[in-house]
Chains A and B, each alone.
Chain A
Amino acid sequence: MNSFKQARIDKQADKALCNLSQGDMSGLSAIYDLYGRLILSVAYIIVGNFTDAEDVLQDVMLLLARYAKRYKAGNSPRAYVMSITRHTAINLIKKRKTELSTDEIGDIPARDGKLASVEVQDLLAQLTEEERQIVTLHIYAGLSHRQVAKMLEISTSAAEKKYQRALKKLKKHYES
């Protein structure tokens, strides 16, 4: 997405969130139209199937309605919504892990669900969980490295470094 289009969407989302924070629920509908696709895709990257990603989307809309008051006008609505999305998706994974076993936190529990194209799956398979998030939040969601770093609670230089490494890993993969 070009940066002008992104900036326009963000401006609209900022207004929608402000409306929502003042109790105007039409803002939520606007947010769905503006960011619904983004939320679903980023959730997919984290949870690994569209069935769960849809659950995340629903939870995110619920959380937005509930916590819109925390949003401050003029901030980055994209980062705000992506932060909620990431948090919600990770919570869903944690919940599933807890349901399975408390000792196997390193494993991703498999769950049936609709999957993305083979090409997307191949791309994701080359990256670690963290790299997937960094690459997706930066390239697909259009967040800056600083915003990604804040979200992942790492330094900006670490986010940049990890991003570059992920890209090089993918480059090697596609070249080979």
Chain B
Amino acid sequence: MKKKIDNILHQLDSYPLPDKAKILAASPIVPAETEEHRKLLTPVRRRLGPAKLAALAMAALLLVAGGVTVVAEEAKAYGEAIDFFEEYNLSAEGFSRSEIKKIYRDIVSESFTYEKTEEALASGLEGYEIQAKPLDSDGLKRLWMVGYVWGVEDQQQSGEAGVEYGFVQVYNPQTREHYGQLFKIKGDQQIWCKRLDDLYIYDARAVGDKIMVAGNLLEKGVATQTVRVCLLDSESDVIWQKDYNSRMHQPGVNYILYDEGNCTLFTASNDRMWILTIDMEGNLVSERYAEYDARGEWIKKVVPMGDGYLMLKGDRLMQEKDGKVQSTVTFGSGDDYYEITDMVEFNGLVYLSGRIVPSIHYESGKWSKGLYGLYQEQFGEKTPSAEEQLQFMKDHHTAVLLVCDPDSGEPQRFYTIPGASGSQLSVKGKQLDWLVNRYVGAEMNANETYYISTGYLATIKADIWRYAFNPYGQVVGEKDTGSSIEFEG
């Protein structure tokens, strides 16, 4: 598939490159190509080293000696192995011919028991670097077949203390089977792993000690119109599994919302959203369709609001009302732009967490103000120091907790903390917890340089604080959690 996509994308190469002189004319004075430049662009031709010459000589000798068939078979097997290594971006460097062939056979037979296999996979297998090492053969197999093992973002916090769920999608090219896998994890331990055949899992939600999984039903690996929902108990047994016809092309379950004893699934195709509510036995409670532009990011959180729902799409708010899903009235106010990261319902109101950044103005053909404009204004072509970048972010980022008007969905400021970003929100009993990243330090990136408009050159360190609010909106706690995060500014 990767090769096919690569081939299609390379069709872009057929479009002629614009005239170099014209393009560079806009840049500061560019002299004619120099000798140095020509040298720079001349490919280096490598001479055969003694080892390769010796190998060629040996091959020639073997051929002469009559081992033609054996050598040809060996060369074919080696060629296949090398093609395989190249296709999957694995490095063959440091391995002998025999080792390369063994690794190849070990992977395609899915045994993953050869001692050198992990070393080879480490060189090119995406996701390897984030795994706890060393991996056993099962771990390697899963990583190879799935491409990645559960990520934190896929983990759903359950009602049980310290228990999380994760899911992955598996395609076995040998058997051509597609299935989803659901994991129950406690700390670093996997409690169980459940295979769900012909299901492309899109979302899972912990509902007390049970977990609801929803996705697309696959027929011979091909997506259907059917959305399949399963409810599993805490021991991975399927309590029930039901199929629902979405009447949409390639429906994608964006989000499962558990609210007042029912679950509502928000499923989107390109231009419609299907809002299906079922009870905990899987019986249909209600369903409706809404106009919806699915372009851009998926819905990552939903809370009920009035007769409809408020949805977080990327860092923007959408409201479902009267059969339409559309942007809420505002993403900010005046000179401020709100970047929303989380939302939660608390005491009948919807709270939003995020940060305020200067908004972008476009005046008389030039960018001005906005974070980018301010950055240019302050630093120009100079590379700011880590401290200057930290100060810039402190000056222009404000953590904000917003509360939505229950009718219009319009967010209003509730609490702000300068020099910080608002992060996760959660409700614990009668208390709203708000995590805030307070910027405390910065360090220039030593290994990689990125051009980013707002402090991309430094890694910003932030301490995570927890603010607690009671149902009356009063701050009842303000505490450094002792944890910190680092991110690119």
Binary interface profile of B, 36-52, with partner A (CB < 8 Å = 1, else 0)? 11001101100000000
Residue of B6, B362, B448, B456 near A139 (CB, 8 A) is B6
- In the complex, the answer to whether A91 meets B367 with C-beta atoms within 8 Å is yes
Residue of A8, A70, A145 near B451 (CB, 8 A) is A70
Q: A87-B451, A98-B360 are in contact. Are A32 and B316 (CB under 8 A)?
A: no
- In the complex, the answer to whether B453 meets A69 with C-beta atoms within 8 Å is no
- In the complex, the answer to whether B448 meets A79 with C-beta atoms within 8 Å is yes
CA distance A116 to B37 in the complex (A): 32
Assess whether A112 is interfacial by the CB under 8 Å rule. Answer: no
Residue of A103, A128, A140, A146 near B327 (CB, 8 A) is A103
When distances are taken between beta carbons in the complex, the residues of chain A under 8 Å from B138 are none
Residue of B15, B17, B33, B130 near A157 (CB, 8 A) is B130
Q: A120-B12, A168-B200 are in contact. Are A106 and B383 (CB under 8 A)?
A: no
Assess whether B297 is interfacial by the CB under 8 Å rule. Answer: yes
CA distance A106 to B222 in the complex (A): 30
Closest Cβ neighbor of B13 among chain A residues: A37
- In the complex, the answer to whether B147 meets A164 with C-beta atoms within 8 Å is yes
Assess whether B109 is interfacial by the CB under 8 Å rule. Answer: no
- In the complex, the answer to whether B1 meets A50 with C-beta atoms within 8 Å is no
Stretch at the interface among B148-156, B392-400, B472-480: B148-156
- In the complex, the answer to whether A160 meets B126 with C-beta atoms within 8 Å is yes
Assess whether B171 is interfacial by the CB under 8 Å rule. Answer: yes
Assess whether B408 is interfacial by the CB under 8 Å rule. Answer: no
- In the complex, the answer to whether B151 meets A57 with C-beta atoms within 8 Å is no
CA distance A105 to B314 in the complex (A): 12
CA distance A37 to B91 in the complex (A): 27
Assess whether B29 is interfacial by the CB under 8 Å rule. Answer: yes
Closest Cβ neighbor of B451 among chain A residues: A84
- In the complex, the answer to whether B126 meets A145 with C-beta atoms within 8 Å is yes
Assess whether B20 is interfacial by the CB under 8 Å rule. Answer: yes
Q: How many residues in B have their beta carbons less than 8 Å from beta carbons of A?
A: 81
- In the complex, the answer to whether B327 meets A57 with C-beta atoms within 8 Å is no
CA distance A8 to B41 in the complex (A): 10
Chain A proximity of B442: nearest CB distance (Å): 16
Closest Cβ neighbor of B359 among chain A residues: A102
Q: Which B residues, 444 to 489, have Cβ-Cβ distances below 8 Å to chain A?
A: 447-453, 456-457, 487-488
Assess whether B296 is interfacial by the CB under 8 Å rule. Answer: yes
CA distance A147 to B298 in the complex (A): 22
Closest Cβ neighbor of B36 among chain A residues: A26
Residue of A66, A98, A106, A123 near B295 (CB, 8 A) is A106
CA distance A44 to B360 in the complex (A): 24
When distances are taken between beta carbons in the complex, the residues of chain B under 8 Å from A104 are 327
- In the complex, the answer to whether A161 meets B148 with C-beta atoms within 8 Å is yes
CA distance A63 to B28 in the complex (A): 10
Residue of A2, A12, A70, A157 near B151 (CB, 8 A) is A157
- In the complex, the answer to whether A57 meets B18 with C-beta atoms within 8 Å is yes
Binary interface profile of B, 15-31, with partner A (CB < 8 Å = 1, else 0)? 10110100110111111
Assess whether B89 is interfacial by the CB under 8 Å rule. Answer: yes
Chain B proximity of A5: nearest CB distance (Å): 9
- In the complex, the answer to whether A28 meets B360 with C-beta atoms within 8 Å is no
Assess whether A47 is interfacial by the CB under 8 Å rule. Answer: no
Q: A62-B27, A157-B148 are in contact. Are A87 and B452 (CB under 8 A)?
A: yes
CA distance A32 to B447 in the complex (A): 24
CA distance A16 to B30 in the complex (A): 13
Chain A proximity of B437: nearest CB distance (Å): 14
- In the complex, the answer to whether B1 meets A170 with C-beta atoms within 8 Å is yes
The 24 sampled A-B contact pairs (Cβ below 8 Å) are A16-B40, A25-B27, A25-B29, A25-B31, A27-B37, A28-B24, A29-B20, A29-B24, A30-B41, A33-B20, A40-B15, A40-B18, A44-B12, A54-B18, A61-B23, A70-B451, A80-B449, A87-B453, A108-B295, A120-B8, A155-B152, A156-B129, A157-B148, A172-B200
Residues of B near any A CB (own CB < 8 A)? 1-2, 4-6, 8-15, 17-18, 20, 23-24, 26-31, 33-34, 36-37, 40-41, 43-44, 86, 89, 126-127, 129-130, 146-148, 151-154, 169, 171, 200, 218, 221-223, 250, 293-298, 313, 316, 327, 331, 360-362, 367, 372, 381, 383, 447-453, 456-457, 487-488
What 7 pairs across the A-B complex have the smallest Cβ distances?
A157-B151, A41-B12, A98-B362, A26-B37, A140-B9, A65-B27, A75-B449
